[in-house]
Structure 1
Amino acid sequence: MSGSGGSSLTLTEGAVLGLLVRRPRHGFALAREFTPGSRIGRVLTVRRPLVYRALNALEGRGLVVSGEPESTPLGPSRSPKQVTAAGREAFDGWLATPVRHVRDVRLELLLKLALLDDLGRSMRPLLEAQRRALAPVHEALTDSGPAGSGFDALLGIWRTETTSAVMRFLDEAIRRHCDRPSELG
């Protein structure tokens, strides 16, 4: 599954890179970041084997490298993973790309916003880019109104209302969370 922002990173790969940009760590520690009660896990829950699969894929593409093995009293030695320059570039591109579909806001956009916040980066550029990306869809839906009858009409109402709610969310997020002095840089 590719990210919807035109990147070759999956959601899990993007999240793993973001967590590694913050600081190198081994797979087991990364997997804990995706548990339901964790900050990232509240948006995207991923089972440990899938975190390791993402790490292996990233390493295979040269976006992540293994550091020196560290011994631990809890089990076998572990090698912390680090992001390469190519990995950082791929992550930054993925992070800055708005989602293409309203349905991707719940997972991908919120994940990107959480990672931006974790990294101490401004959310404003992504929120504004996301608003620009979805504005034509919103305008087309609100201008035409729901068409058809029966289920088609209900689906049209769903799409219009969902898109309107996302646009209100983006407006409020820009207004409320990006007008802080720390966000204006």
Structure 2
Amino acid sequence: MLALICEKPRHGFAISKELDSDESLVAVLNVRRPLVYRSINSLEAAGLIRPTKTEAGVQGSKRTVYSPTARGKTTNLQWLNSIVEHPRDARIELLAKFVLRSRSRMSNTSLAKKQRDLFTKFAQEFKVKEKTAAANTKLVARWRYESITAMIRLLDSVISP
């Protein structure tokens, strides 16, 4: 939500509509409207966004438009530039970062390089675990290794399209 508000000030309904209609976001995230409003409340309570104006809604109720605070802009930029610490978080968080960075016309190359470096370390660890795994855990170890190497191949394609 913060990244979308940093793109341009908007109200909760506009964010929800964007999350439902933008193909790149839909492919990565499925966020229901109540969660959008809870997120807005949390972001405001944390001092990352602030209400800047109200607009008339289509059905008469006023809508509060939110803008990022300076701290919100900094937090968003730090998040967009940070790697995902664990492979299990790559499916949503890393893909969301790539989509949101692209929407903001930021290159994904530097993030992909940093992410690949970390995931390469994981791959080495997973390969050792696969080779030394007991028979009853070998399949899981193999799954982890294959998954991380697939992610590395994807990151390589982002780095060198």
Q: Shorter-chain TM-score category?
A: over 0.9
Show structure 2 runs of 5+ residues with no match: none
**Number of the residue aligned with 2:48:** 63
Which contiguous aligned blocks of 4+ residues in structure 1 show a shift greater than 6 angstroms?
A: none
Whether the aligned pair in 1 keeps the contact of 2:48 and 2:73 (CA below 8 Å) is: yes
Please state whether the residue corresponding to 2:61 is helix, strand or coil: strand
Separation in 2, partners of 1:85, 1:19: 15
Separation in 2, partners of 1:37, 1:171: 26
- Superposition RMSD in Å: 1.5
Whether the aligned pair in 2 keeps the contact of 1:36 and 1:42 (CA below 8 Å) is: no
Show structure 1 runs of 5+ residues with no match: 1-15, 177-185
Whether the aligned pair in 1 keeps the contact of 2:9 and 2:66 (CA below 8 Å) is: yes
**Number of the residue aligned with 2:38:** 53
Whether the aligned pair in 2 keeps the contact of 1:36 and 1:45 (CA below 8 Å) is: no
Separation in 1, partners of 2:50, 2:95: 27
How far is the alpha carbon of 1:33 from its aligned partner?
2.1
How has the CA–CA distance of structure 1 residues 36 and 155 changed in structure 2, closer, same or farther, with 3 Å as cutoff? farther
**Number of the residue aligned with 1:149:** 135
Number of residue pairs matched by the alignment: 160
The correspondence of residues 18-57 of structure 1 with structure 2, limited to 5 A, is 18-35=3-20, 38-57=23-42
- Counterpart AA for 1:124: T
How far is the alpha carbon of 1:104 from its aligned partner?
1.1
Aligned residues: percent identity? 35
- Counterpart AA for 1:149: A
Greater share of residues in helix: 2
Name the TM-score, length of structure 1 as normaliser: 0.81
Name the TM-score, length of structure 2 as normaliser: 0.93
Is 1:75 matched up with 2:60?
Answer: yes
